[in-house]
Amino acid sequence: MSGTTSRSKAATGPAATPRNDSGAPIVRFDGVSKTYDGRTDVVRALDLALAPGEFLTLLGPSGSGKTTTLMMLAGFEEPTRGSIWIEGRRIDHVPPHKRGIGMVFQNYALFPHMTVAENLAFPLQMHGVPRDRVPARVRRALEMVRLPDLGGRRPAQLSGGQQQRVAVARALVYEPRIVLMDEPLGALDKQLREQMQLEIKHLHESLGLTVVYVTHDQSEALTMSDRIAVFHHGIVQQLATPAELYERPANAFVASFIGESNRLDGTIDARDAAACRVRLPDGSMLQATPVGDLAAGAAVVVSVRPESIRFSGANGGDGTANRRDARVVETIYLGDHAKVRVALDGGATFVVKVATREAAGLARDDGVALAWDAAACLAVPPESR
């Protein structure tokens, strides 16, 4: 089962294999579906396996099924169909506190009337750790998150970042092999959020934890994960490494959800093993790289990343496979780079990401020529539904 995705024909490829391939998966979802109303599946026929020590992120928009999947693994929801396994043991009906899983919530869920040390001691007491061993375990957990001197404070006396560190420490204090994190950094400001991303990733690596992490933030997922499962409509649209998702999205939803993407609808006009020609609605052609088993006549979405497009000379002649004339709509200054929004002939809007100096001389309604290579122009199928 290791390295599989949902039964929705989502793409994986070699890069989707877990980084630890030493044996059986530590977590496995086998044909898991979940419905709340008996009619609509929030999660559909999910097959998913995690290797020991893997950091897997469940990524998707609100209502996509990612949090429900996490809650079923945690034991706060039960599958409607299918089974969930941890280390070869079926745990569908095992209570949450008997699953040996640590949990970090977005709202921290710290007890306000307890000190930090008491908050960390509580799960140890619940797991039957002998009383004389609790102080050392609490001290070690606080040192792990770099808060060794704050055990006597209450949560209200801590900053948001410190509270989040305490929440992480509480999830780790009884040394679980699996830690689940549900949007744990959502309440933090951008700078602190980025700092905590790296700290959580370093803890994962140093402790050898298996982490399942839920977020709707694509940059967070790309930064932290070994693999990412992209959810939409209760289906894993693609399960792969961050690089694979960004560079070879399996379908139109993944291409648009992971990073920024310019897109055009079209039809495969002709193809060989490595390249294809796509006919656009206006009859013009683009040279593209097909993703997946796409035959001539198949409807596709052409996806081009903003950083893959360059401004070309007015007469072309640079050997680039694809060129389009456009008109500048606006230029957005972003410090080290600029985004130029342009309108193509035919009405479509593209975004071009360039160095700031390249955009400096552009004004609204200026005519420009765009160019991009076939290798950067992906022909992808519609999303799995």
CATH number of the domain at 21, please.
3.40.50.300
- Per-residue pLDDT, averaged over 357-363, amounts to 89
Whole-angstrom distance, CA of residue 141 vs CA of residue 171: 9
One domain for residues 75 and 195:
yes
Sorting pLDDT into bands at 50, 70 and 90, what band is 150?
Answer: very high
Last residue of a domain, one of 204, 223, 252: 252
Q: How confident is the model at residue 385 (pLDDT cuts 50, 70, 90)?
A: low
Q: Is residue 157 part of a domain?
A: no
Task: Report pLDDT for 319.
Answer: 55
Q: What pLDDT does residue 14 have?
A: 32
Q: Which of 205, 225, 252 is the last residue of a domain?
A: 252
Give residue 134's pLDDT.
Answer: 92
Domain assignment present for 343: yes
Beta bridge partners of 59: 215, 230
- Inter-CA distances, 9 with 288, 292, 293, 378, 385, Å: 22, 11, 11, 19, 10
The Cα–Cα gap between 302 and 261 comes to 9
Task: Give the mean pLDDT of 319-332.
Answer: 89
- Is 200 found in the same domain as 271? no
Helix (H) or strand (E) segment spanning residue 276: strand 276-279
On whether residue 116 sits in a domain, the answer given is: no
How many C-alpha atoms does 199 have within 13 Å on its Cβ side? 20
Q: Residue 198 and residue 46: Cα distance in Å, rounded?
A: 29
Q: Is the pLDDT of residue 160 over 90?
A: no
* Cβ contacts of 228 within 8 Å, gap of 6 or more: 56, 57, 59, 221, 222, 239, 240, 241, 242, 245
- State the Cα–Cα distance between residues 96 and 106, nearest whole angstrom: 18
Q: Quick one: 70 and 217 in the same domain?
A: yes
Beta-strand pair 89-90/81-86:
antiparallel
Q: Is residue 141 part of a domain?
A: no
Residue 84 and residue 187 in one domain: yes
In a domain, 30, yes or no: yes
Comparing 280 with 191, the larger pLDDT belongs to 280
* Residue 226 sits in the same domain as residue 330: no
Given 252, 282, 298, which residue is the final one in a domain?
Answer: 252
Q: What is the pLDDT of residues 252-283, one digit of tens each?
A: 999 999 989 999 999 999 998 889 999 999 89
Count of the separate structural domains present in the chain: 2
Together in a domain, 40 and 90 = yes
Same-domain check for residues 84 and 206: yes
CATH code of the domain in which 297 resides? 2.40.50.100
Indicate the pTM of the whole model.
Answer: 0.85
pLDDT digits (tens, 9 = 90+) for 17-30: 344 445 689 999 99
pLDDT of residue 191: 85
273 in a structural domain: yes
State which residues form the domain around 361: 260-308+319-380
Does 353 map to a domain? Answer: yes
